[in-house]
Homo-oligomer: A and B are copies of this chain.
Amino acid sequence: MNSQHFSEEALRTFTNTIFLKMGCSVEHAELASDVLIRSDLRGIDSHGVARLSGYVRLWEKNRINTKPDIRIVHETASTATLDGDSGLGLVIAPFAMKIAIEKAEKCGSGWIAVRNSNHFGIAAYHALMAVEKMMIGFAMTNASPLVAPTYSNERLLGTNPMCYAFPAGKYPPVIVDMATSSAANGKLEIAQRSGRPVPEGWIQDSEGISSVDPHELKKGGALLPLGSDKDHGSHKGFGLGATVDILSAVLSGANYGPWVPPFVAFLEPPSDPVGRGIGHFLGAMRIDGFRPVDEFKFHMDNWIERFKSAKPISKDQKVVIPGEPELAAEIYRQQNGIPLADAVITDLYKLAEKLGVEKPMASM
């Protein structure tokens, strides 16, 4: 698979121009671009500019409202439900997180359920907004159904990611950002492009039998919950995916389970919705709502040092602190540019042509 490198700035400018073309305000276009570019910087290639044409196609089908009236529909001092008015999740989720942070500033914590939204990009972007304010950040979202519950061969849950982000002292934040399926869809896409078989335990075929064919989903197969099978705790992965679905959608009034509208524009949303759009759940808790910040920082640093220095099985591979690989990618790509696969570049060029904007230039 060939690739070329693009500077962060070139992709940011291009993405911003596309969102402006879609009718976003200057503020919204910049924010949405920042979420996508941050994903590419952090090495989560599946959630960055590779998705840009997907958002455009949803907008063309009138499934994304680029001038949303995002509003609180229900609230208490520490909780609220937000209606995203079919806007970009890339814009709605940071808006929700701002409210969570404001509530946390006032009463220790803030929790926002969001309905009537769309794909919100990487969960870590939103959770990290809280970390910058010396708070613990939480972000989760439901998503198009691709995952089968344990014992079923029906796709009823999305890969429903959950993210917990913790500030530290001298070390970078600890960021647990994970799909609740055995493998994220992005990993499956990489295997599809390479044509290589995937490990047993990622997917099952339409009959519910374990498969290593990365194209199984197109034939009625499903991703498996974290744990892969009952013996290894797939009921736990199912439980985590269910938790994300309920907090994001049953609590907010969004669609849940098989009613979640698909991200891909060529599939129509179910004709019998049980709510509005897709749902998210975001939260922020002030560290000093529990403990003086200095004490917390000291012990987070100690926690990180202890786990980093854990006895390794092989001397070539130390224990990885959650969030380390993404931070390493971010530092590297800020300096060296963002590699895009040829298929993604072609996609962006087509988009440039269709919307009449300048193509991004590869930097090397």
Q: Which residues of A contact B (CB under 8 A)?
A: 74-81, 106-109, 111, 113, 136, 148-154, 156, 164, 166, 174, 176, 178-179, 182-183, 199, 201-202, 207-208, 226-228, 231-233, 235-240, 242-243, 245-247, 250-253, 256-258, 274-275, 285-287, 289-291, 295-296, 299-300, 302-303, 306-307, 310-314, 317-320, 322
Instruction: Give which listed residue, B286, B307, B318, contacts A156 with CB less than 8 A.
Output: B307
- For residue A242, which residues in chain B have a CB less than 8 angstroms away from its CB? 174, 176, 307, 322
Task: Point out which of A207, A245, A299 has the most chain B C-beta atoms below 10 A from its C-beta.
Answer: A299
| Copy total for this chain | 2
Q: How far is the CB of A292 from chain B (nearest CB, A)?
A: 8
Shortest A154–chain B CB gap in Å is 4
Q: Chain B residues near A322: list those with CB within 8 A.
A: 235, 238-239, 242
Is B154 within 8 A of A245, CB to CB?
Answer: no
A14 to B116, CA, bound (A): 54
Of B149, B275, B287, B296, which is within 8 A of A319 by CB? B149
A108–B319 CA distance with the chains assembled, in angstroms: 39
The 8 closest A-B pairs by CB, nearest first: A76-B108, A208-B313, A176-B239, A79-B289, A79-B108, A77-B107, A152-B310, A154-B311
Pair A310/B79 contact, Cβ less than 8 Å? no
18 extra A-B contacts, CB within 8 A, seeds A79-B109, A108-B111, A226-B226: A77-B108, A148-B310, A151-B313, A152-B310, A156-B310, A166-B246, A176-B236, A178-B235, A207-B313, A208-B313, A226-B233, A227-B232, A228-B232, A242-B322, A246-B300, A251-B287, A253-B295, A257-B306
